[in-house]
Amino acid sequence: MVFSSLIFLFRFLPLTLLAFFLAPRSMRNGVLLAASLVFYGWGEPKYILIMLLSICIDYTASNGIERHRGSRMRMRAFLMLSVVGNLGLLMGFKYANFMIENFNILTGQAIAPLAVTLPLGISFYTFQTMSYSIDVYRGHTRSERNLVDFGAYVCLFPQLIAGPIVKYVDVQRELKNLRIDPSRIEEGIRQFVLGLACKVLLANNAGLLWQDVQDRGFLQISMPMAWFGILAFAFQIYFDFSGYSLMAIGLGKILGFEFPRNFDFPYASRSITEFWRRWHMTLSAWFREYVYIPLGGNRRGPARQLVNLVIVWLLTGFWHGASWNFILWGLWFAVFLVLEKAFLLESLKQHPFWAHAYTGLVVLFGWVIFAIPDLPSVGVYLSRMFSLTFSGDILYVLRNYGVTLLAAVLFSLPVMRRVQTFLAEKKTVSVILLALVFLLCVAYLVDASFNPFLYFRF
């Protein structure tokens, strides 16, 4: 499914860009809306109606808020329409069966699960549209009266399925005045190809090692294999998600939009606090602005701040999936964020080496919880990481995946920023290198059968 979606993107993109650039400026949002619905509908045709329903809910809610500025009660009623409507869609499709399953376990009932599948990108676009209605309620922006323009914002195909989460206030001006800028197109192409390379050449190959570990069975792997396996997953999810985000940002630039940055080399962090300022930055910003601060943030004393952190990270874990391992994963990070707020952060600043080591270990153990839905299997895997068992599988890993892991380490650090700067400055070299990288990615896609997008399921 995901492999064919990426192939479809390459077939779909040239025609879309041609139609977009040839269309009069007043019609470009209409082209974007139509193209985005085709792109989304090709992968999930039956869920176009859910997307359209989400658009209608927030269009109605925002304009209702705008019309009733003089009545706080009516404004709140329309805001609740947006919040309940968006969260209702998300709960119904993503969490209903999780609740049914746990209710059955607790009560001994046998309620049948709902016959629904998770719509692609629903966690992203429901948060995106809900933030718009909240911003209108707060007076941070005026409601959008043009339904086509609003629909284009919600459905923007570059970032529709897996982010970054784009607030309406960030692209409002561009929606109203989309301009073709050759320098931005050039930069967008460069970012798109680099993101594609991160996804196809690094994430996919790291994912093969993690898949290899799972196929062998956790009880059969040695201690080094267990460490290399979860390291491979850490690189897979990073380059998978950051690569897709960079592709989305690049496509956005080509179309005239400036999407927010979503990753800032998080594996170079020296604390968990810093890590979450660098990883999935738009989601962290969303929870900070629309959950943490409304709860009181750090304004109501240290004890309340720590409670607010736990609530936010419980919700962050649950946002990622309807499974207990995601909730545990969120609480795992909440513990360390609370410790850092309480006393640990100052000590980490004084010992950079140990700060890097501590952060890396906490993140890796967190990825074990995240990657393995079955909690007993999480325990098995962690035990293998400290089992003091050795075998020839370490040679197998180094021989087959050593180059991939070395490249992943290198490009997950800020050296990648220097690569981007070099390509921006050396135009001729940049064109040649990017063309070669693009051809290599296409060849890999045509030849390979392993091409998952991990965040498509969130």
Q: Give the catalytic positions in this structure.
A: 320
Question: Which 3 state secondary structure label does DSSP give 177?
Answer: coil
Question: Which 3 state secondary structure label does DSSP give 372?
Answer: coil
CA dist 58 and 62 (Å) reads 6
Dihedral sign for Cα 62, 67, 72, 76, please: negative
Q: Which residue do the tokens 């609003």 mark? A: 150
CA dist 74 and 69 (Å) reads 8
Specify whether the CB–CB gap between 55 and 154 falls below 8 A: yes
The residue among 95, 65, 81, 66 whose CA lies nearest residue 130 is 81
Question: Which 3 state secondary structure label does DSSP give 445?
Answer: helix
Task: Spell out the alpha helix ranges (H) of 199-340.
Answer: 204-216, 223-255, 272-278, 281-287, 293-295, 302-320, 324-339
Specify whether the CB–CB gap between 392 and 348 falls below 8 A: no
Q: What is the DSSP letter of 297?
A: T
Pair of tokens at residue 25 = 């400026």
